Every structure is written in structure tokens, then in C-alpha cells.
């Protein structure tokens, strides 16, 4: 049984009634935006809410990728007092919706014209049973490569555009005395690199079949074996100290010129921005090698829990409205590294990486190549994602596990899901 189903069962057994702990006129918001760039971004929303006279109770649970935050959220829901809003993404929104725990945002959505404002691919994810239950904050792109231009210059290499070029450039960077690829050995970061390698080496159709549709032939087949082998080779580009390292510490290695590259979603850009650096000058961005015609999207969104108190509902609705207003979309996304969730905004304040992200989002949406990020909870339900993470990380850390065995385990991981 999935953890969420267990949560409902526990709620039913306890005869619990849901009550959020937020006071009237305030919102309690669960998120995991605790790095330098992330905290600057989260603060934008807090300030906007406060400026409208609402209280903000910050419920930040540290831990990149949000796994810990989701565990804490489940236990709060199980004890009958979820926060007013939580960063819940992708298919997991449906899981919470099915439990009947989410509130109905259609009133705000109608008044603000969300249907006309949002791209269909974004709006779809925010609705459960035809009703808006969540509001999108941004669109992150996951398949990015970040680089320190001084390190590249010292090693005499350019930004790589294929996986082979990345391995070659990596070797030169190592010889020049730097860490080729900054990485943090945590399951979600391993999965982030893995999905970009699958995409870069095998293309977006294969990515879709394997990591979105969970087709057993793709998951267990030759292309997956090849992708797993490429992925294992990435270890050669990483340093000994990677185990357990947080993603923003890895980004700092690129910022400080200790490392040449990092494969990470564009929340990494939030760290470069917070450090006062300029895109295209002090740091470089490019699509992860081999993925220039693809875009792994990761949409941050705040889902609202059902509340009974009128004033609390009003505060929630204000939050939902503010999130899609231009002021928030611009200020938040400039700090967060992502692009706005609504495509109608003036992008002149955004840097060259964000401009490229928007152009590539639109191009891949039209021409194909726009795929949901598995590593960031956009492609498959949480229990399947967790099972895939286990395989990816165990394989990555086990020098003796053949890629064929990992591919077989992938098939079982997808089947073992309890839905
Ligand atoms: C979230 C981002 C966050 C990143 C690192 C991703 O899953 O979508 O908002 O910055 O994890 O914590």
C-alpha cells in the first residue's frame, strides 16, 4: 500500500477531522527552499502576503528534492493538521486530491482567468477532478549543464554538446587540477544526473517510453543498459568527497572554481545569482550534453489543503492569486533560476539562460522533446519514483553491479508499485 493510502487509513481509523494549524488570516506554507537562492525566492512570497495584511508561517523542511519535506507533510496530514499550503508537484497532486484533502481553487482560477493564462501542460497538472487544487509557481528545466568559464579556459576546453565531449573535457579538466563534475551523492541528485544521461545518450522518445510510460521493454532493454553504463562513467568525473554533499555545496564548487561543471536543474542558477554572478560571463549554462532538443520540465506548485475557516480560506485564496500575478512571477523566478509559469510576461529582466529556457520550452512543446522530469516528481507517482531512485543509487554506488542487472531491477521497480 502506498504511504498516502496508509495516511488515509490512519485518518479514518482515528476518526480524525482535518484542521490546519494556521490562524485565521494567515497561511502556513510547507516547502524545502532553504539554500541561499531558494530562500531569497521564498521570501518574495512571504513579503507579498504580508504586504496584503496576511500572516506567513514558514514551514521550511531542509533537504534538496523535497523527500524529507514530503515525509514531514505526510505525518502532519496523518495527525489531522496539514499546513494551509504545501509544495506538492506533478502526479503527487493527484494522489492528495484522491484522498479528498485538497481545497477547490476554481473561484480564484475563474476570477483570474487561469485557463487562458496557463499553458495546457501546466494547467493539467494543477487540476484534480476538473478543479484547480494547486497553483504553479514556475517552470524549472532540469537538463542543464553549468560551468565555470575560467576552469574551462585553464583546461583548454569548450562547453561539451555530447556525452563523449563531456567525458573528454572532463579528463582535460582533471589534468588541469580541477574536479571535472561537482556532484552530491544523494539519491535525488544521482537520479537528476541519471535522467539527463538517459536523455542525452538515448533521446527523448526513449526517455518517454522508459521513465514516463515505464515500458518494461525500454526499462529492461539495450538502450537502458547503454544509458546505465554512461551514467556509471560519470563517477570518473566526480570527486571523492561527494558522498552526502548538498546540491548547493556542489554548485559552490563551480562558483569558486574548484570544479568545472555541474549537471543540475536551474535552481542552481539561483545560487549563481545570489552570489552576484552574471550568466554568460561569470558562469555558463547549456543544455545537458546531447539534450539540446529536449526539455525536462519540473513545475513547482503550491497545493492548498481543504480548510473550514472562512478567513483561512480567504488567506489561501490570496496566496493562490498572488502566486500567478506578474509581480510575484517575475521577482520569484529571477531569484529562483526558473522561468515564469505564465508565458505572457515581459522577460527583458531575465538572463540569457532563462531566455534560452523559455525558447526551448516553447520549441520542444511544439516540435516534441518536452518531457516531465522523473527525478523531480513530474513523471511517475511517488512510490515508483522512490523504487527507481533506489535502483539508480544502488547501481551507481556498487562497483560490481552490471548494468544488465540494474536494468532488470528497473523493470521490477516499475512493477512493484502498489497502484
Ligand atoms: C524543486 C526545486 C528545488 C530543488 C532543490 C526540486 O525538486 O523543484 O524547487 O529548488 O528541488 O531543492
Per residue in 49-61, pLDDT (tens digit) is 999 999 999 999 9
Give residue 161 CA to ligand 1 midpoint distance, Å: 25
The residue whose CA has the least distance to atom 1 of ligand 1 is 65
Cβ-contact 93, 133 below 8 angstroms: yes
pLDDT over 80 (residue 409): yes
Q: Residue 116: inside a domain, yes or no?
A: yes
Atom of ligand 1 nearest to the CA of 89: 8
pLDDT at 67: 94
Q: How many domains is the chain partitioned into structurally?
A: 2
Atom of ligand 1 nearest to the CA of 376: 7
pLDDT at 70: 96
Give residue 156 CA to ligand 1 midpoint distance, Å: 32
Q: What is the CATH number of the domain that holds 68?
A: 3.40.190.10
Does one domain contain both 147 and 225?
A: yes
Q: Residue 253: inside a domain, yes or no?
A: yes
The residue whose CA has the least distance to atom 11 of ligand 1 is 65
Pocket of ligand 1 (CB under 6 A): 32, 38, 64-66, 140, 267, 298, 300, 376
Residue 46's Cα: distance from chain center in Å?
Answer: 21
Residue 301's nearest CA partner among 388, 377, 361 is 377
Cβ-contact 180, 173 below 8 angstroms: yes
Q: What angle do CA 158, 65, 40 make, to 5 degrees?
A: 80
Domain that holds residue 118: 4-137+300-350
pTM of the predicted structure, to 2 decimals: 0.95
Does one domain contain both 15 and 150?
A: no
The residue whose CA has the least distance to atom 6 of ligand 1 is 65
pLDDT at 419: 46
Give residue 65 CA to ligand 1 midpoint distance, Å: 5
Residue 198's nearest CA partner among 285, 291, 262, 91 is 291
Q: Residue 45: inside a domain, yes or no?
A: yes
The mean pLDDT value of the chain amounts to: 95
The residue whose CA has the least distance to atom 7 of ligand 1 is 65
Does one domain contain both 55 and 110?
A: yes
Other beta carbons within 10 Å of 283: 24
Does one domain contain both 24 and 76?
A: yes
Q: Residue 358: inside a domain, yes or no?
A: no
Q: Residue 361: inside a domain, yes or no?
A: no
Range scoring the smallest mean pLDDT among 19-23, 96-100, 211-215: 19-23
pLDDT at 24: 73
Atom of ligand 1 nearest to the CA of 32: 12
DSSP state of 119: -
The residue whose CA has the least distance to atom 8 of ligand 1 is 300
How many Cα atoms sit within 13 Å of 228 on the Cβ side?
Answer: 29
Give residue 271 CA to ligand 1 midpoint distance, Å: 12
Give residue 301 CA to ligand 1 midpoint distance, Å: 11
Cβ-contact 92, 301 below 8 angstroms: no
Amino acid at each position: 500500500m502506498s504511504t498516502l493510502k496508509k495516511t488515509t487509513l490512519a485518518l479514518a481509523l482515528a476518526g480524525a477531522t482535518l484542521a490546519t494549524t494556521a490562524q485565521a488570516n494567515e497561511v502556513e506554507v510547507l516547502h524545502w527552499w532553504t539554500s541561499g537562492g531558494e530562500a531569497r525566492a521564498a521570501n518574495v512570497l512571504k513579503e507579498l502576503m504580508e504586504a496584503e495584511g496576511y500572516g506567513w508561517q514558514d514551514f521550511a523542511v531542509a533537504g534538496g528534492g523535497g523527500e524529507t519535506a514530503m515525509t514531514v507533510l505526510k505525518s502532519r496530514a496523518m495527525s489531522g493538521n496539514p499546513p494551509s499550503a504545501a509544495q506538492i508537484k506533478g502526479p503527487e497532486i493527484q494522489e492528495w486530491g484522491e484522498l479528498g484533502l485538497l481545497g477547490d481553487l476554481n473561484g480564484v482560477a475563474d476570477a483570474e482567468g487561469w485557463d487562458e493564462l496557463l499553458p495546457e501542460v501546466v494547467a493539467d497538472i494543477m487540476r484534480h477532478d476538473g478543479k484547480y487544487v494547486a497553483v504553479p509557481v514556475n517552470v524549472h528545466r532540469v537538463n542543464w549543464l553549468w560551468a565555470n568559464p575560467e576552469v574551462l579556459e585553464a583546461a583548454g576546453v569548450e562547453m561539451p554538446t555530447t556525452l563523449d565531449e563531456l567525458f573528454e573535457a572532463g579528463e582535460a579538466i582533471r589534468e588541469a587540477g580541477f574536479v571535472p563534475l561537482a556532484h552530491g551523492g544523494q539519491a535525488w541528485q544521482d537520479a537528476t544526473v541519471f535522467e539527463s544521461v538517459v536523455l542525452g545518450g538515448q533521446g527523448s522518445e526513449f526517455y518517454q517510453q522508459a521513465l514516463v510510460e515505464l515500458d518494461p521493454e525500454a526499462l529492461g532493454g539495450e538502450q537502458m543498459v547503454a544509458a546505465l553504463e554512461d551514467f556509471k562513467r560519470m563517477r570518473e568525473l566526480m570527486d571523492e568527497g561527494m558522498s552526502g554533499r548538498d546540491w548547493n555545496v556542489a554548485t559552490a564548487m563551480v562558483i569558486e572554481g574548484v570544479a568545472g561543471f555541474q549537471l543540475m536543474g536551474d535552481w542552481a542558477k539561483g545560487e549563481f545569482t545570489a552570489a552576484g554572478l552574471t550568466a554568460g560571463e561569470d558562469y555558463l549554462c547549456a543544455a545537458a550534453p546531447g539534450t539540446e532538443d529536449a526539455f525536462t520540465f519540473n513545475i513547482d506548485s503550491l497545493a492548498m489543503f481543504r480548510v473550514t475557516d472562512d478567513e483561512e480560506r480567504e488567506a489561501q485564496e490570496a496566496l493562490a492569486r498572488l502566486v500567478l500575478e506578474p509581480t510575484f512571477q517575475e521577482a520569484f523566478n529571477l531569484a529562483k533560476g526558473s522561468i515564469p509559469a505564465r508565458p505572457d510576461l515581459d522577460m527583458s529582466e531575465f538572463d540569457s539562460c532563462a531566455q534560452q529556457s523559455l525558447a526551448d520550452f516553447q520549441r520542444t512543446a511544439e516540435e516534441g522533446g518536452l518531457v516531465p522530469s522523473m527525478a523531480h516528481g513530474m513523471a511517475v507517482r511517488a512510490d515508483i519514483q522512490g523504487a527507481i531512485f533506489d535502483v539508480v543509487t544502488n547501481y551507481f554506488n556498487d562497483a560490481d553491479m552490471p548494468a544488465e542487472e540494474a536494468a532488470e531491477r528497473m523493470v521490477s521497480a516499475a512493477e512493484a508499485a502498489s497502484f
